[in-house]
A = this chain, B = another copy of it.
């Protein structure tokens, strides 16, 4: 019964999946294909020099978008979720990519979709979204009541932590935990698949094929964690920008507002940016100084300990 006894020929399909993010018009967006229903992805093949190279190939081929910074996210084996009786096993290696939207008139427009069309409960910039109180929590409450004893208490605990109830603060990093909860409670479309249940999912938010929405959640969570201790916003910003633009980008990613003055102080004391000497009038109001990232910082992205925290609102 041991796995090593089953000396079958392994035929493992390995897929590469990309969560490519940019901030466009103040919204954090993911690069998608098929009108938002899937992330760029394709099999890892013998012709690929490396996992990263394979991923870049696929993304560029499917979306026309060249990748800059990428980092590995997570490797999933298709979960029990998916009906897979004699299906070949598939493994998905996912990556997080950060870019800007480089468009030109000669290229077809890319398919950038707002994160928050998939996860409407994640955007707290204009306060706590009403779906949380209106739809999510009531359904989750019912879900806790399906079981008894310690199991119920455990569900309650998980919900309280994930959604910040009972005095608990909202923790924007728990994107994946929240999605997994909704999945377990069968409140999202993906969880209803293959069960023969055709009812519309009780919680709003666009689904994706296979596990892609879960992978996107993983990417968002990673990015929200990472901006706090490593200067990765760079990759998302144009060469020059104002401090407010930088702040808006961080807020878009974190899904929450930050204290303006403290944000500025933080940026300055971290010595992440330097003034270009120019100012811009385009922002309306008093003209804003323009900044660029300091070259040293760009270099240190491999190692150093620069951080860019997201203070509370």
Contacts and interface: CB of A to CB of B under 8 A. Distances in A.
Interface of A: 2-6, 8, 10-14, 42-51, 54, 57-58, 61, 72, 74-75, 77, 79-80, 89, 91, 93, 154, 157-158, 161-162, 171, 174, 177, 299-300, 302-305
A161 B61 contact: no
B61 A75 contact: no
Contacts of A89: 44, 46
Nearest to A75: B75
Given A3-B54, A57-B3, A177 B10 contact: no
Contacts of A8: 45-46
A303 B177 contact: yes
A45 B14 contact: no
Contact of A10 (B5, B13, B75, B79): B13
A45 B161 contact: no
A6 B305 contact: no
A223 to B, nearest CB: 17
A161 B13 CA distance: 39
Question: What are the 6 closest A-B residue pairs judged by CB atoms, nearest first?
Answer: A3-B47, A161-B303, A6-B47, A75-B75, A3-B45, A51-B77
SS of A interface (majority): mixed
A158 B4 contact: no
6 contacts: A4-B57, A14-B14, A44-B77, A72-B74, A72-B75, A157-B299
A294 B223 CA distance: 31
Nearest to A153: B299
Contact of A91 (B14, B46, B161): B14
A80 B53 CA distance: 12
A304 B51 CA distance: 33
A299 B2 CA distance: 31
A145 to B, nearest CB: 20
A154 B61 contact: no
A17 to B, nearest CB: 12
A206 B49 CA distance: 29
Contacts of A51: 75, 77, 91
